[in-house]
Each structure stands twice: as structure tokens, then as C-alpha cells.
A = this chain, B = another copy of it.
Amino acid sequence: MARLYHVPLSPFCRKVRLVLAEKRIECELVEERYWERDADFLRRNPGGKVPVLRIDGQTMAESAAICEYLDERHPEPPLMPKGAEARYEVRRLVGWFDDKFHHEVTARLLYERVNKKIMKQGFPDSRNVKDGARAIKFHLDYMAWLLDHRRWLAGDAMTMADFAAAAHLSALDYISDVDWHRSEAVKDWYAKIKSRPAFRGILADQVPGFPPPAHYADLDF
């Protein structure tokens, strides 16, 4: 069976978990306190990050590379479209969320509020939190603009781009940092993706010391 080394609220791990579940690939989850730099873990992954996936006799790192691999090796259901233009748009948006959204929002809210405490790295920097809270509004508006003329973020089919976005937003929703009242379109999109069977594992996550709000796992939020 495949095995994923992860931390529950990492958006990169969540993206891989969603892709695995959507493709019905059975996978054992192992929590990895990667910041303690355990020697065994570093041997598996010199990058020292999560997610790390053991599958098909290989050990893999880098979530974007893992997800493309899973889609190529397990093509059903497809999470990448067929044409080069459409594939570009999916990859652009995966990059948008995993790079831009990550630095401007996730790192400033989730990492300040949760990771710092878990990793014993001090208190949240209030300026970062403020900047993150401002930046997420811009990003939600950008998503609303995309969804104004598309059913899913990258086009009319659900793709990796939706999982990348949902991975970040679900982790932020765990700490009540997403204002679902800001855009009807974004809320409808999240309700659709949240109700997929692939999402169940993520909605069942529990991080000690950080109980999720009641609406987190509620499909009618």
C-alpha cells in the first residue's frame, strides 16, 4: 500500500491526499514532525519537507511533481485536461496557489497562528497576520472573477487547480480564516468540492490544541 508522510494542515500534503483519494488509491498516512529533522526522514527526503509519498517502489517529494505523476500513472478520473492551453491554465493556477497564495496568505495566517505554536517558534507576528487577512480578500475576489465565467477554477471540468486551491482554503478554514460571505460563487464552488468523497479524510482531521470550528466539517456551512 502507498504511504504518505504528512502533516494534517499542510496545504501541499492536503493536495496530494485529495488527488490520492479522488483516484481511489489506498494510502496509509504517517504524521511527520519534519521540523524536528529526524535522521530517517531526511534519508527519505533530502529536501526535509512534507509531503513525501512512498508508492510503486519509489519515494517521492515535491507535491506538484507527485500530483502530475499520480495523474499520469492513474489517469482515472483525470485531473488534467487534454489540450496544451487547458493544461497550461491548470498548471498556472496550481502555481498561483502554491506559490503566490501560499506566501501571501497561508504562510501569514496558518503558519503564524498554528505552525509557530506547534514548532515552538514563538508568537504570531501581528503584522504578518494583518497582511495575510488583507491578502486573502484579493485572492477570494480573484477566484470569484474566475468562477464568474467558469464552472471550476481552470475551466468547465474539475482539475488539480481546484484541489490546490481547496487544499489551502480548507487548511485556513480549519482556523476560521476564510470569510465565506465574501463571494457566493466561491462559497458554491467550495461546497461542491467539499461534498466529494475525496474530501472526507481532510474534514475528519483533528490537530491537538486546535479544535476546528463547527462549520469546518459541515457540508452546509
- Give A residues with C-beta under 8 Å from B: 46-47, 49, 56, 58, 60-62, 64-66, 68-69, 72-73, 84-85, 87-89, 91-92, 94-96, 99-100, 142
Contacts and interface: CB of A to CB of B under 8 A. Distances in A.
Contacts of A64: 64, 91, 95
A142 B96 contact: no
A67 to B, nearest CB: 9
A188 B129 CA distance: 46
Contact of A58 (B46, B49, B85, B87): B85
A84 B67 CA distance: 11
19 contacts: A46-B142, A47-B96, A58-B85, A58-B88, A60-B88, A61-B92, A62-B92, A62-B95, A62-B96, A62-B99, A64-B64, A64-B91, A65-B88, A65-B95, A66-B88, A68-B88, A68-B91, A72-B84, A73-B84
Contacts of A142: 46
Contacts of A73: 84
A92 B46 contact: no
A88 B65 CA distance: 5
Contacts of A91: 62, 64-65, 68-69
A79 B95 CA distance: 20
Max chain B Cβ within 10 angstroms of own Cβ: one of A56, A88, A91, A96: A88
A189 to B, nearest CB: 19
A99 B60 CA distance: 16
Nearest to A71: B84
| 6 tightest A-B CB contacts, nearest first | A65-B91, A62-B95, A69-B88, A72-B84, A65-B92, A62-B92
Contacts of A68: 87-88, 91
Nearest to A46: B142
Nearest to A58: B85
Contacts of A85: 56, 58, 69
